[in-house]
């Protein structure tokens, strides 16, 4: 190990924190783009319907992909998951605070984007169409939002816990070979 041992030990956690921020911004950005495009372009009703379905599809695919990858990689222990953010703060409090801020704002950004996407439907001039969206459209959207948000929070903790485990392995490997 030629590099600074501290940077080698902290690298997995820093990488995981950067990944949390990147994935969070990308997830919210994709759904927000659809909402803002709809607000700016004012497309036809069929296109608006498609944008809502696309947003729900993004959330469902994200949730499924994270769950499948999580089952392939395995789940960290509950203790490691519980302490993930605290241990990240011990390594770099500023970057951990920024990542936690982004992680916390992802559910708010998704909710705002989904409300912007659905708003034209529930305020439609045709009361029957608006009622249909309230009764048939909002429940699956709400379910996709709740599943994606829960998946998001679990994925953040899992990624940090895995990175901290990797960091511990690097630390122990370094100190086991110091004299050699």
34: which residues sit within 8 A by CB, 6+ positions away?
51, 54, 55, 113, 117
* pLDDT value of residue 9: 79
Task: Judge whether 175 lies within some domain.
Answer: no
Rounded to 10 deg, the angle between the 5-41 and 45-73 helix axes is 160
Confirm whether 52 is domain-assigned.
Answer: yes
The candidate with the shortest Cα–Cα distance to 51, out of 143, 99, 113, 94, is 113
Tell me how many domains the chain contains. Answer: 1
Q: Is residue 177 part of a domain?
A: no
Residue 159: pLDDT band by 50, 70, 90 thresholds?
very high
Over the chain, what is the mean pLDDT? 91
Q: What is the pLDDT of residue 74?
A: 87
Indicate whether 176 belongs to any domain: no
Distance, CA of 103 to CA of 149 (rounded, Å): 10
pLDDT value of position 1: 47
Distance separating alpha carbons of residues 61 and 148, to the nearest angstrom: 9
The answer to whether residue 12 sits within a structural domain is yes
Spatial distance between the Cα atoms of 110 and 174, rounded to a whole number of angstroms? 42
What pLDDT was estimated at residue 53? 95
User: Given pLDDT bands bounded at 50, 70 and 90, which one contains residue 91?
Assistant: confident
pLDDT of residue 180: 58
With respect to residue 178, please indicate whether it lies within any of the assigned structural domains. no
Distances from the Cα of 35 to the Cα of 6, 42, 45, angstroms? 43, 10, 14
Q: Is residue 83 part of a domain?
A: yes
> Structural domain of residue 68, as residue ranges?
5-169
SS3 125: coil
Q: Has residue 161 been placed in a domain?
A: yes
């Amino acid at each position: 190990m030629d590099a600074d041992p501290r940077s080698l030990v902290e690298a997995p956690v820093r990488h995981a924190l950067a990944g949390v921020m990147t994935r969070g911004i990308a997830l919210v950005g994709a759904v927000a783009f659809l909402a803002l495009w709809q607000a700016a372009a004012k497309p036809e009703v069929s296109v608006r319907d498609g944008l809502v379905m696309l947003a729900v599809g993004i959330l469902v695919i994200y949730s499924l992909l994270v769950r499948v990858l999580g089952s392939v990689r395995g789940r960290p222990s509950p203790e490691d998951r519980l302490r993930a953010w605290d241990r990240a703060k011990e390594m770099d409090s500023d970057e951990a605070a920024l990542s936690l801020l982004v992680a916390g704002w992802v559910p708010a950004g998704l909710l705002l984007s989904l409300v912007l996407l659905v708003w034209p439907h529930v305020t439609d001039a045709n009361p029957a169409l608006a009622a249909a969206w309230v009764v048939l459209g909002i429940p699956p959207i709400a379910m996709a939002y709740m599943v994606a948000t829960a998946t998001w929070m679990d994925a953040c903790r899992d990624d940090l816990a895995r990175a901290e485990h990797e960091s511990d392995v690097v630390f122990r490997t370094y100190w086991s070979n110091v004299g050699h």
